[in-house]
Amino acid sequence: MATSLKNLSSYDEKNIPSAAKMKFGIVVSEWNSAITDALYKGAVSTLVKHGAAEDNIVTLGVPGSFELVSGAKTLAKHSNVDAVICLGCVIQGETPHFDYVCQGVTQGIAHLNVKFNIPFIYGLLTTLNQEQAEDRAGGKHGNKGDEAAYTAIKMVDINWRFKK
């Protein structure tokens, strides 16, 4: 469903399990920090709201969105987390750089999901302009960070149910 038809911060709270025993990694891009800081705050707020202890949230800042994949891999290998949330924002410019970064991050996160036994959550905004990014980082379309945290909790729960 297109974001314009759904608020990223809306989900059925009765369908979300407790995150009290879960440990999360969040890798966040420092590029477009006004946007990524808002995504990060949304993700942490949602995790804590559903029971995650702040001590069980490991954060790693990386220079840009392209480095999300390497940062996520580092968190997965060295921090014993149950899921990694990848948060970044790429705003289209005048060159094809946007396409390469978005494609590389998308493929990289998909690859991590196959390589590791934990979920890597795609929280990358790929927008045409600053306004669209703001709309998805706590603006009129909600916060992609909230959605990414919700997704992480649900995916950890699924993993745990099938590991038994």
pLDDT score of 164 more than 70: no
- Whether 97 is catalytic: yes
pLDDT per residue over 140-154, tens digit each? 998 999 999 999 999
pLDDT at residue 95, as a whole number: 82
Domain boundaries defined on the chain:
30-150
pLDDT per residue over 81-113, tens digit each? 999 999 999 999 888 788 889 899 999 999 999
Cβ of 139: how many Cβ atoms within 10 Å?
15
Which one of 3.40.50.960, 3.40.50.150, 3.50.50.60, 3.30.930.10 gives the CATH number of domain 30-150?
A: 3.40.50.960
pLDDT at residue 26, as a whole number: 98
Q: What is the mean pLDDT of the chain?
A: 92
Q: Which residues contact 156 (CB under 8 A, 6 or more apart)?
A: 19, 22, 24, 82, 83, 118, 119
pLDDT at residue 7, as a whole number: 66
pLDDT score of 72 more than 80: yes
From the list 50, 97, 111, 141, the catalytic residue is 97
